[in-house]
Amino acid sequence: MTEANLNIQNAPAPTPSRSGLPRRYGDFASFPAALDYAAQGETGFNIYSGRGDLLEVLPYRKLRQQALGVARRLLGLGMKPGERVAIVAESDGDFARIFFGCQYAGLVPAPLPLPVAFGGREAYIATLRGMIARAEATAVIVPEVIGGWTDEIIAGLDLSFGGSPRELMALEEKEVPLPQIGADDLSYIQFSSGSTRFPMGICVTQKAGMANAQAISRDGLKVFPETDPRDDRCVSWLPLYHDMGLVGFFLTPMTCQLTVDLLPTREFARRPHTWLELISRNRGTLAYSPSFGYELCARRGAREDIDLSSWRVAGIGGDMIRPQILENFAETFASKGFDARAFVASYGMAETTLAISFAPLQTGIQVDTVDLNALEEEGLAVPAGPKTSKARTFVLCGLPLPGHRIEVRDSEGKPLAERQVGTIHVWGPSLMVGYFKQPEETATCLSPAGWLNTGDLGYFLNGQIVVTGRAKDLIIVNGRNIWPQDLEWSAENEIPQLRSRDVAVFSVDEEGAEKIVALVQCRLSEPENREKLRQEITALFRRLHGVEVEVILVPPRSLPQTSSGKLTRARARAMLLAGEFDNAPSSQPV
Q: Tell me, yes or no, whether 533 lies in a domain.
A: yes
Q: Tell me, yes or no, whether 268 lies in a domain.
A: no
User: What range does the domain containing 551 cover?
Assistant: 474-577
Among candidate residues 255, 283, 311, the one where a domain is terminated: 255
CB 511 within 8 A of CB 527: no
When computed from its CA atoms, the radius of gyration of the chain, rounded to whole angstroms, is: 24
Q: Tell me, yes or no, whether 321 lies in a domain.
A: no
Dist CA 533 CA 276 (whole Å): 34
pLDDT tier at 570 (50, 70, 90 boundaries)?
Answer: confident
In Å, how far are 186, 363, 566 from 314, measured between CA atoms? 31, 11, 19
pLDDT tier at 504 (50, 70, 90 boundaries)?
Answer: very high
Specify whether 81 is located in the same domain as 149: yes
Interval 421-432 mean pLDDT: 97
Amino acid letter for position 235? V
Count of the separate structural domains present in the chain:
3
pLDDT at position 22 is: 97
The answer on pLDDT for 4 being more than 50 is: no
Q: Tell me, yes or no, whether 518 lies in a domain.
A: yes
Q: Tell me, yes or no, whether 248 lies in a domain.
A: yes
Specify whether 483 is located in the same domain as 455: no
Specify whether 447 is located in the same domain as 510: no
Closest by CA position to 427, among listed 447, 399, 450: 450
pLDDT tier at 561 (50, 70, 90 boundaries)?
Answer: confident
pLDDT tens digits for range 297-355: 998 887 778 999 999 999 998 777 889 899 999 999 999 999 999 999 999 999 999 99
Specify whether 125 is located in the same domain as 214: yes
Interval 393-420 mean pLDDT: 96
The answer on pLDDT for 36 being more than 50 is: yes
pLDDT tens digits for range 183-196: 999 999 999 854 44
Specify whether 204 is located in the same domain as 241: yes
Closest by CA position to 318, among listed 369, 400, 371, 242: 242
| Per-range mean pLDDT, top range of 4-8, 48-52, 511-515, 578-582 | 48-52
The answer on pLDDT for 178 being more than 90 is: yes
pLDDT at position 587 is: 43
Residues with Cβ within 8 Å of 143's Cβ and at least 6 positions away in sequence, in order, are 88, 90, 92, 94, 95, 114, 164, 165
Cβ atoms within 10 Å, residue 238 = 29
pLDDT tens digits for range 485-501: 888 888 988 899 898 88
Lowest-confidence segment of 174-188, 301-315, 347-361, 470-484 by average pLDDT: 470-484
The answer on pLDDT for 1 being more than 70 is: no
Specify whether 415 is located in the same domain as 518: no
Output 66 or 124, whichever has higher pLDDT: 66
pLDDT at position 586 is: 44
pLDDT at position 448 is: 95
CB 60 within 8 A of CB 24: no
Among candidate residues 213, 240, 255, the one where a domain is terminated: 255
Output 12 or 65, whichever has higher pLDDT: 65
Lowest-confidence segment of 2-11, 76-85, 96-105 by average pLDDT: 2-11
pLDDT tens digits for range 580-589: 887 655 444 3
pLDDT tens digits for range 505-546: 988 877 666 789 999 999 998 999 999 999 999 998 888 888
* pTM of this structure: 0.85
The answer on pLDDT for 117 being more than 70 is: no
Amino acid letter for position 303? R
Q: Tell me, yes or no, whether 433 lies in a domain.
A: yes
pLDDT tier at 119 (50, 70, 90 boundaries)?
Answer: low
Specify whether 456 is located in the same domain as 530: no
In three-state secondary structure terms, 360 is coil
Specify whether 538 is located in the same domain as 465: no
Q: Tell me, yes or no, whether 262 lies in a domain.
A: no
pLDDT at position 195 is: 42
Specify whether 454 is located in the same domain as 405: yes
CATH number of the domain to which 370 belongs: 2.30.38.10
Specify whether 152 is located in the same domain as 230: yes
Interval 50-73 mean pLDDT: 97
* Burial (Cβ within 10 Å: 0-12, 13-18, ≥19) of residue 503: buried
Cβ atoms within 10 Å, residue 387 = 6
Q: Tell me, yes or no, whether 313 lies in a domain.
A: no
Closest by CA position to 258, among listed 46, 51, 12, 11: 46
pLDDT at position 3 is: 44
Average pLDDT of the chain is 91
Among candidate residues 415, 442, 472, the one where a domain is terminated: 472
